[in-house]
Structure 1
Amino acid sequence: MASSSTRLSFLMFISCSIFFHGVLGELICEELPVNVCAFAVSSSGKRCLLENFETKDGQLDYQCRSSAVVVSTMAEHIETDSCISACGVERKYVGISSDSLMESQFTAKLCSPECYQGCPNIVDLFFNLAAGEGVFLPELCEKQRTNPHRAMLELLSSSAGAIAAVEHASAPTIAPFH
């Protein structure tokens, strides 16, 4: 459970961000603190990504960066704590991938009405990640609601098929010696 001073600090940050955003007119990923970076979208519509790196003294540190992915309908968005919780994601996600879709507990939270109907930014992100694996998220969520075990089996088989197709397509062609 977060302390009241941590919550107060976060609320103050959001309030100041909104105030300064109104004054400056831009939300820039590289200027966001790392604790609100993941699942944010800049003024230009680019998704913000949390990246980690090793400092000169060997410590692990984080930075917020703009990705190349543009979300045309969601510019200037910092995800709410309620959506972070409802969807089962974390603010410290580094290198978001479709791997989390393979976890039935995560998929159940993502497909829950609280997340799926109330958090379009997170759903859009995972919709696109699922599509990259050859999976249609609305179908996966419907199957998750009716038969969670079958949904996971189908996701695994879809992903395996998509991976095999990519590997086959990128495999070098070897010509026989004559």
Structure 2
Amino acid sequence: EVVVERLAGYIESDECVSACGVDRDFVGISSDAFFSPEFAANLCSPACYQNCPNIVDLYFNLAAAEGVYLPALCEKQRSSPHRAMLELLSSSGGGAPGPIADDLAEAPAPAMF
């Protein structure tokens, strides 16, 4: 069990947990959640974004650490969910192209021991 001294005894409401798409049984937090369209839609939904400041603040700080401004992401999520995901991928470097097949063919074979 993890206890944060400032928030000891505080438990997020079931309504917020459900609205924001978070899970009480999950340990840890990762920016990978932003790459799930369902998670971004839940986090940016009015039910979460306007009513669950603790969860939103947590993910706001996580997004900022990744160079993403959460209010802008949520605005794009509401107006154009696909564009929001594409911009998130391009801003995080997640959309970088992989190796080209010709490059792989020219690479030396790994040594076998």
**What TM-score comes out, normalization by structure 1 length?**
0.49
Measure, in 1, the Cα distance between the counterparts of 2:9 and 2:77: 31
Which residue of 1 is the match for residue 6 of structure 2?
Answer: 44
Is 2:46 the counterpart of 1:113? yes
Which residue of 1 is the match for residue 72 of structure 2?
Answer: 139
Q: Where is the helix percentage greater, Structure 1 or Structure 2?
A: 2
How far is the alpha carbon of 1:44 from its aligned partner? 2.4
1:157 partner SS: helix
Measure, in 2, the Cα distance between the counterparts of 1:76 and 1:118: 20
Percent of aligned positions that are identical:
67
1:77 partner SS: coil
Is 2:83 the counterpart of 1:150? yes
Equivalent of 2:28, from 95, 106, 115? 95
Which residue of 1 is the match for residue 61 of structure 2?
Answer: 128
How far is the alpha carbon of 1:157 from its aligned partner? 0.8
Q: Where is the strand percentage greater, Structure 1 or Structure 2?
A: 1
Tell me how large the CA RMSD over aligned residues is.
Answer: 1.7
Gaps of 5+ in 2: 95-113
Comparing both chains, which one has the higher relative contact order based on Cα–Cα distances under 8 Å and sequence gaps of 6 or more?
A: 2
Measure, in 1, the Cα distance between the counterparts of 2:46 and 2:78: 10
How far is the alpha carbon of 1:77 from its aligned partner? 2.7
Measure, in 1, the Cα distance between the counterparts of 2:9 and 2:54: 11
Cα deviations by residue, 1:46-77 (Å, 9 ceiling, x for unpaired): xxxxxxxxxxxxxxxxxxxxxxxxxxxxx753
Structure 1 residue runs of 4 or more that deviate by more than 3 Å after TM superposition: none
Which residue of 2 is the match for residue 80 of structure 1?
Answer: 13
Measure, in 2, the Cα distance between the counterparts of 1:87 and 1:121: 11
How far is the alpha carbon of 1:99 from its aligned partner? 0.5
Gaps of 5+ in 1: 1-27, 30-41, 46-74, 162-178
2:26 partner SS: coil
Output the amino acid matched with 1:122: I
